[in-house]
Amino acid sequence: MSTSLFDLTGKRALVTGSSQGIGLALARGMAEAGASLVLNGRGADRLEAAAATLREAGAKVATLPFDVTDHEAARAAIDGFERDTGPIDILVNNAGMQHRTPLEDFPADAFEKLLQTNIASVFHVGQAVARHMIARGAGKIVNICSVQTALARPGIAPYTATKGAVANLTKGMATDWARHGLQCNGLAPGYFDTPLNKALVEDPKFSDWLANRTPAGRWGRVEELVGACIFLSSEASSFVNGTVVYVDGGITASL
Protein backbone atom coordinates (compact mmCIF):
# COMPACT_ATOMS: atom_id res chain seq x y z
CA MET A 1 0.00 0.00 0.00
CA SER A 2 1.33 3.41 -0.93
CA THR A 3 2.44 5.64 1.92
CA SER A 4 0.97 8.54 -0.08
CA LEU A 5 -2.40 7.58 1.42
CA PHE A 6 -1.11 9.00 4.72
CA ASP A 7 0.45 12.14 3.24
CA LEU A 8 -1.04 15.38 4.62
CA THR A 9 0.92 17.71 2.35
CA GLY A 10 -1.24 20.64 1.29
CA LYS A 11 -3.74 20.12 4.11
CA ARG A 12 -4.35 22.52 6.99
CA ALA A 13 -5.25 21.13 10.43
CA LEU A 14 -6.86 23.01 13.31
CA VAL A 15 -6.12 21.37 16.67
CA THR A 16 -7.97 22.71 19.70
CA GLY A 17 -6.28 22.71 23.08
CA SER A 18 -2.91 22.37 21.39
CA SER A 19 -0.53 24.40 23.55
CA GLN A 20 0.57 21.26 25.45
CA GLY A 21 0.01 17.56 26.00
CA ILE A 22 -1.85 15.41 23.50
CA GLY A 23 -2.93 18.34 21.34
CA LEU A 24 0.62 19.58 20.85
CA ALA A 25 1.91 16.07 20.16
CA LEU A 26 -0.78 15.46 17.54
CA ALA A 27 -0.07 18.81 15.91
CA ARG A 28 3.63 18.01 15.74
CA GLY A 29 2.94 14.61 14.22
CA MET A 30 0.62 15.97 11.55
CA ALA A 31 3.17 18.63 10.66
CA GLU A 32 5.73 15.86 10.14
CA ALA A 33 3.19 14.22 7.79
CA GLY A 34 3.07 17.44 5.74
CA ALA A 35 0.16 19.40 7.21
CA SER A 36 0.24 23.08 8.05
CA LEU A 37 -1.13 23.83 11.50
CA VAL A 38 -3.56 26.10 13.26
CA LEU A 39 -3.09 25.93 17.03
CA ASN A 40 -5.94 26.88 19.32
CA GLY A 41 -6.26 27.66 22.99
CA ARG A 42 -7.43 30.49 25.22
CA GLY A 43 -3.94 31.71 26.17
CA ALA A 44 -2.26 33.56 23.29
CA ASP A 45 1.16 33.56 24.97
CA ARG A 46 1.17 29.80 25.54
CA LEU A 47 -0.02 29.23 21.99
CA GLU A 48 2.78 31.37 20.58
CA ALA A 49 5.35 29.51 22.67
CA ALA A 50 4.06 26.17 21.34
CA ALA A 51 3.98 27.53 17.79
CA ALA A 52 7.58 28.72 18.10
CA THR A 53 8.81 25.24 19.02
CA LEU A 54 7.01 23.76 16.02
CA ARG A 55 8.31 26.44 13.66
CA GLU A 56 11.85 25.70 14.81
CA ALA A 57 11.30 22.16 13.56
CA GLY A 58 10.17 23.47 10.17
CA ALA A 59 6.40 23.42 10.57
CA LYS A 60 4.11 26.03 9.07
CA VAL A 61 2.03 27.24 12.02
CA ALA A 62 -0.70 29.80 12.64
CA THR A 63 -2.40 30.47 15.96
CA LEU A 64 -6.10 31.05 16.51
CA PRO A 65 -6.88 31.83 20.16
CA PHE A 66 -10.56 31.58 21.11
CA ASP A 67 -12.68 29.97 23.82
CA VAL A 68 -14.03 26.68 22.46
CA THR A 69 -16.93 26.82 24.94
CA ASP A 70 -18.21 30.08 23.41
CA HIS A 71 -20.35 29.30 20.35
CA GLU A 72 -20.24 32.78 18.83
CA ALA A 73 -16.51 33.22 19.48
CA ALA A 74 -15.72 29.89 17.86
CA ARG A 75 -17.79 30.62 14.79
CA ALA A 76 -16.41 34.15 14.39
CA ALA A 77 -12.81 32.96 14.70
CA ILE A 78 -13.23 30.10 12.24
CA ASP A 79 -15.25 32.11 9.72
CA GLY A 80 -12.65 34.88 9.89
CA PHE A 81 -9.77 32.47 9.39
CA GLU A 82 -11.44 30.77 6.43
CA ARG A 83 -12.16 34.16 4.86
CA ASP A 84 -8.76 35.76 5.47
CA THR A 85 -6.32 32.84 5.36
CA GLY A 86 -7.80 29.76 3.75
CA PRO A 87 -9.59 26.45 4.29
CA ILE A 88 -9.37 24.23 7.34
CA ASP A 89 -9.21 20.69 5.95
CA ILE A 90 -8.79 18.79 9.21
CA LEU A 91 -10.24 19.49 12.64
CA VAL A 92 -8.99 17.74 15.76
CA ASN A 93 -11.34 18.49 18.67
CA ASN A 94 -8.87 17.92 21.48
CA ALA A 95 -9.71 20.56 24.10
CA GLY A 96 -10.80 18.95 27.35
CA MET A 97 -10.53 18.95 31.11
CA GLN A 98 -10.76 16.59 34.08
CA HIS A 99 -12.10 16.92 37.62
CA ARG A 100 -11.70 14.12 40.16
CA THR A 101 -14.17 13.96 43.07
CA PRO A 102 -16.41 11.16 44.38
CA LEU A 103 -19.75 11.43 42.62
CA GLU A 104 -21.71 12.03 45.81
CA ASP A 105 -19.57 15.12 46.49
CA PHE A 106 -19.09 16.29 42.89
CA PRO A 107 -19.66 20.08 42.67
CA ALA A 108 -22.44 21.14 40.32
CA ASP A 109 -20.32 23.94 38.86
CA ALA A 110 -17.51 21.50 38.04
CA PHE A 111 -20.04 19.23 36.33
CA GLU A 112 -21.30 22.11 34.19
CA LYS A 113 -17.74 23.12 33.30
CA LEU A 114 -17.00 19.56 32.17
CA LEU A 115 -20.10 19.55 29.98
CA GLN A 116 -19.10 22.81 28.31
CA THR A 117 -15.43 22.00 27.85
CA ASN A 118 -15.64 18.35 26.86
CA ILE A 119 -18.94 18.14 24.94
CA ALA A 120 -20.27 21.55 23.96
CA SER A 121 -16.90 22.57 22.51
CA VAL A 122 -17.01 19.63 20.10
CA PHE A 123 -20.39 20.85 18.86
CA HIS A 124 -19.41 24.53 18.68
CA VAL A 125 -16.12 24.08 16.84
CA GLY A 126 -17.29 21.06 14.85
CA GLN A 127 -20.32 22.86 13.47
CA ALA A 128 -18.38 26.03 12.62
CA VAL A 129 -15.70 24.11 10.71
CA ALA A 130 -18.10 21.62 9.11
CA ARG A 131 -20.15 24.36 7.45
CA HIS A 132 -17.11 25.28 5.37
CA MET A 133 -16.13 21.64 4.77
CA ILE A 134 -19.66 20.84 3.54
CA ALA A 135 -19.48 23.68 1.03
CA ARG A 136 -16.24 22.18 -0.32
CA GLY A 137 -17.49 18.59 -0.23
CA ALA A 138 -14.58 17.29 1.85
CA GLY A 139 -13.19 17.35 5.36
CA LYS A 140 -11.84 15.33 8.26
CA ILE A 141 -13.00 15.68 11.87
CA VAL A 142 -11.25 13.76 14.63
CA ASN A 143 -12.85 14.04 18.07
CA ILE A 144 -10.66 13.06 21.00
CA CYS A 145 -12.54 10.56 23.12
CA SER A 146 -11.04 8.49 25.96
CA VAL A 147 -10.74 5.04 27.44
CA GLN A 148 -13.53 6.44 29.63
CA THR A 149 -15.73 6.48 26.53
CA ALA A 150 -16.07 2.74 27.20
CA LEU A 151 -15.08 2.29 30.85
CA ALA A 152 -15.62 4.02 34.19
CA ARG A 153 -13.54 4.25 37.33
CA PRO A 154 -14.20 5.86 40.71
CA GLY A 155 -14.17 9.64 41.08
CA ILE A 156 -14.68 10.67 37.45
CA ALA A 157 -18.28 9.75 36.63
CA PRO A 158 -19.10 13.12 34.99
CA TYR A 159 -15.93 12.96 32.87
CA THR A 160 -16.96 9.46 31.80
CA ALA A 161 -20.38 10.80 30.83
CA THR A 162 -18.84 13.55 28.72
CA LYS A 163 -16.54 11.21 26.84
CA GLY A 164 -19.37 8.79 26.15
CA ALA A 165 -21.30 11.72 24.75
CA VAL A 166 -18.39 12.71 22.50
CA ALA A 167 -18.47 9.25 20.92
CA ASN A 168 -22.19 9.51 20.23
CA LEU A 169 -21.87 13.05 18.91
CA THR A 170 -19.18 11.70 16.58
CA LYS A 171 -21.65 9.10 15.29
CA GLY A 172 -24.19 11.87 14.75
CA MET A 173 -21.67 13.99 12.84
CA ALA A 174 -20.91 11.05 10.56
CA THR A 175 -24.59 10.32 10.05
CA ASP A 176 -25.38 13.91 9.05
CA TRP A 177 -22.22 14.85 7.21
CA ALA A 178 -20.83 11.73 5.49
CA ARG A 179 -23.06 12.42 2.49
CA HIS A 180 -21.30 15.78 2.12
CA GLY A 181 -17.86 14.14 1.85
CA LEU A 182 -16.78 14.45 5.49
CA GLN A 183 -15.25 11.67 7.61
CA CYS A 184 -15.94 12.14 11.33
CA ASN A 185 -14.31 9.74 13.76
CA GLY A 186 -13.10 9.48 17.33
CA LEU A 187 -9.64 8.78 18.71
CA ALA A 188 -9.71 7.36 22.23
CA PRO A 189 -6.47 7.44 24.23
CA GLY A 190 -5.94 5.11 27.14
CA TYR A 191 -3.79 6.27 30.04
CA PHE A 192 -1.10 8.61 28.74
CA ASP A 193 1.58 10.57 30.56
CA THR A 194 0.19 14.09 30.08
CA PRO A 195 -0.28 17.24 32.21
CA LEU A 196 -3.96 16.25 32.62
CA ASN A 197 -2.85 13.01 34.30
CA LYS A 198 0.00 14.52 36.32
CA ALA A 199 -1.51 13.57 39.69
CA LEU A 200 -1.97 9.96 38.58
CA VAL A 201 1.46 9.66 36.98
CA GLU A 202 3.04 10.83 40.23
CA ASP A 203 1.01 8.36 42.32
CA PRO A 204 3.08 5.13 42.60
CA LYS A 205 0.05 3.12 43.74
CA PHE A 206 -1.97 4.15 40.69
CA SER A 207 0.92 3.61 38.27
CA ASP A 208 1.45 0.12 39.68
CA TRP A 209 -2.27 -0.60 39.30
CA LEU A 210 -2.20 0.68 35.72
CA ALA A 211 0.81 -1.44 34.78
CA ASN A 212 -0.97 -4.53 36.08
CA ARG A 213 -4.32 -3.60 34.51
CA THR A 214 -3.02 -2.74 31.03
CA PRO A 215 -1.87 -5.64 28.82
CA ALA A 216 1.00 -3.46 27.53
CA GLY A 217 2.06 -2.94 31.14
CA ARG A 218 2.78 0.79 31.09
CA TRP A 219 1.61 4.36 30.55
CA GLY A 220 1.24 5.43 26.92
CA ARG A 221 3.51 8.03 25.34
CA VAL A 222 1.72 10.86 23.56
CA GLU A 223 3.72 10.21 20.39
CA GLU A 224 2.00 6.83 20.16
CA LEU A 225 -1.29 8.58 19.32
CA VAL A 226 0.10 10.23 16.20
CA GLY A 227 -0.20 7.31 13.79
CA ALA A 228 -3.91 6.81 14.45
CA CYS A 229 -4.55 10.54 14.15
CA ILE A 230 -2.75 10.71 10.80
CA PHE A 231 -4.75 7.71 9.58
CA LEU A 232 -8.05 9.37 10.54
CA SER A 233 -6.91 12.68 9.00
CA SER A 234 -5.73 11.26 5.68
CA GLU A 235 -7.05 9.61 2.52
CA ALA A 236 -6.23 6.26 4.13
CA SER A 237 -9.52 6.55 6.07
CA SER A 238 -11.70 7.68 3.15
CA PHE A 239 -14.46 5.16 3.99
CA VAL A 240 -14.07 5.18 7.77
CA ASN A 241 -16.89 7.10 9.41
CA GLY A 242 -18.51 7.32 12.84
CA THR A 243 -16.09 4.97 14.54
CA VAL A 244 -13.86 5.30 17.60
CA VAL A 245 -10.27 4.05 17.42
CA TYR A 246 -8.88 3.06 20.83
CA VAL A 247 -5.16 3.53 21.43
CA ASP A 248 -4.95 2.13 24.93
CA GLY A 249 -2.38 -0.65 25.21
CA GLY A 250 -5.23 -3.19 25.27
CA ILE A 251 -6.98 -1.98 28.43
CA THR A 252 -10.47 -2.03 26.85
CA ALA A 253 -9.87 -5.52 25.49
CA SER A 254 -8.99 -7.19 28.78
CA LEU A 255 -10.60 -7.77 32.18
Tens-place pLDDT, residues 233-246: 999 999 999 999 99
Residue 53 contacts residue 47 (beta carbons within 8 Å)? no
159 Cβ contact partners less than 8 Å away, ≥ 6 residues apart: 98, 99, 114, 118, 146, 148
Q: What is the C-alpha to C-alpha distance for residues 196 and 159, in angstroms, rounded to an integer? A: 12
Helix intervals (H) in 62-138: 71-84, 108-114, 121-136
Residue 255 has pLDDT above 90, yes or no: no
pLDDT at residue 197 in the model: 87
**Catalytic residue ranges:** 159
- Hey, what domains does the chain have and what are their CATH numbers? 3-253 (3.40.50.720)
pLDDT at residue 116 in the model: 98
Q: At 140, is the secondary structure helix, strand, or coil?
A: strand
Strand-pairing partners, residue 192, are 220
pLDDT for 68-80, tens place per residue? Answer: 999 999 999 999 9
pLDDT at residue 195 in the model: 83
Q: What is the C-alpha to C-alpha distance for residues 80 and 97, in angstroms, rounded to an integer? A: 27
pLDDT for 139-163, tens place per residue? Answer: 999 999 999 999 999 999 999 999 9
